Structures are given as C-alpha cells and as structure tokens.
Amino acid sequence: MSSASCPSREPPRYLSQAEAEALQRELLEDYRFGRQQLIEIWGHASAVAVTKAFPLLSLPRRQRTLLVLCGPAQTGAIGLVCARHLRCFDYEPTIFYPRRSPDPLFKDFTTQCEKMDIPFLSYLPTEVQLINDAYNAVVDAVLGPEGTEGTEGTEPCAAILATLRHIRIPIVSLDVPSGWTPGAGGTGDISPAVLVSLAAPKEVTRRFQGRRHFLAGRFVPEELRRKFGIGAEYPGSDCVVAL
C-alpha cells in the first residue's frame, strides 16, 4: 500500500499561538484565502472528522443526533458550518448558539442552518441527563483558540463549560478544547474524546489524551506546510488525517 493511502505516522509538530496566528495571517493576506472560505473549509473538514469518529452506518437512527455548541467568535462559525455539513451527511444536529455574533458573515451561516431546518435550542438543558439521553455526541465549538483568560468564567460560556465537565457522552472539540488556555500549557478540566486540529495542531493541545485526533490541513499550500513544519500525508482524497 502506498504512503499516500495511509495516515501519517510522523509525530505532529505543535504550533505556538503566535505561529498559528502567523499561519492564518499568511493564508489570508499572502495566499488570499477569504475568511468565509477558511471557515467553510474547516467546518466541512470538522464534519468529515465527526463522520469518521462516529460512522453513520454504526449508529441506530435514534443515535444520529448531535448537539453542536457554538460560541460568538470564529470557532462558533466553524461549528455552524460543521452542523450544516453534518445535516447533509444525514446526521441530525441541533445547535445551541446563545450569543449570536453581529458579524454579517456569521449571520449568513446561521441563516443557512435555519433554512436547512436544523433546530436551535433557546436554552441549554440544566439537567445533564437530558443531554446524555438525547444526543450521541457533543461538538464543542464554543471558545477554541479565541478563548482568553477569564472568558470561560463569563456567561453563557460558564454554564456551557459546567455542562461539558459533567456529561458522559463523547465531546468533539474543534481546534482547541474550550477552557484550555492557549500559550499557558494548561488543559482545563474538559476531556474531549475527539480533537480536530485546524490547519495544524496547537501547542496547548499537546496533552490531549482522547481516542481520536484528526488534522484538517490538506488545503494548506505546500510551501506553508514546509515553512511551519506541518507535513502530513492524507489518505486518498480525504480532507482530514488521523494523527
């Protein structure tokens, strides 16, 4: 079997917060990727990673439900796109998006989900049992790398993080698990089962000990991959690779 059809076995290189910001800046400014384009790529790849972690054929109809928790910044927008693609993949996502961004682009992503009849919760159930019984997994798109010191202590993030700490069903975190502090080496107390690193793994996620870690960075131009040392071989035509 050729190396092109096998997941990368090389240890991943984890980027510092400054390096990750520089990579995204080069994608936007030098390579002329648009914000909408990047969010769409990452949202689609995140949904593909979810399908690999929880294959549809292995789930009974009643277990195809997923809860997608979205924050107000870019990671939340990626969560909205992820939910839309999950719906296209025949999963049954429900979205909790308590602090909606005024950004017109994010409003468009919200409208797309609404037009596809994806339910939006008006509140997050306070009884954790309700989430455990109603959903097969939770997609954590709350804070991501945008989380700053003290953010997790403000509402509605505090309530969401409190729920994530106690649920028993698997958590899929996008890029950086909510509550993990970028650049400080801490990991908070949320323990996702699945992590989807966007473009490149981040230094703060080095201690991730869940069962599946995916990299969604196939779209990154080869020159940038070499510059930031994030080479990985993707299987077939897949947009994600298991690390």
- Burial level of 105, CB count in 10 A (0-12/13-18/19+)? middle
pLDDT of residue 156 exceeding 60, the answer is: yes
- pLDDT for res 235: 92
pLDDT at 188: 53
The model carries a pTM of: 0.89
The tens digit of pLDDT for each residue in 2-55 reads 334 444 456 678 999 899 999 999 999 999 999 999 999 999 999 999 999 999
Q: How many CA atoms lie within 13 A of 27 on its CB side?
A: 25
State the amino acid at position 215 in one-letter form.
L
**Structural domain spans, the chain:** 3-54+61-242
Is 3-54+61-242 CATH 3.40.50.10260?
yes
Determine whether 117 is exposed, middle or buried from the number of CB atoms within 10 Å of its CB (0-12, 13-18, 19+).
Answer: exposed
What local confidence, expressed as pLDDT, does residue 84 receive? 98
Average pLDDT of the residues of the chain: 87
At 177-201, the pLDDT tens digits run 998 875 454 445 789 999 999 999 9
Comparison of pLDDT for 131 and 76, the residue scoring more: 76
Give the burial class of 8: count Cβ atoms within 10 A of its Cβ; 0-12 exposed, 13-18 middle, 19 or more buried. Answer: middle
Question: What's the rounded mean pLDDT across residues 162-176?
Answer: 92
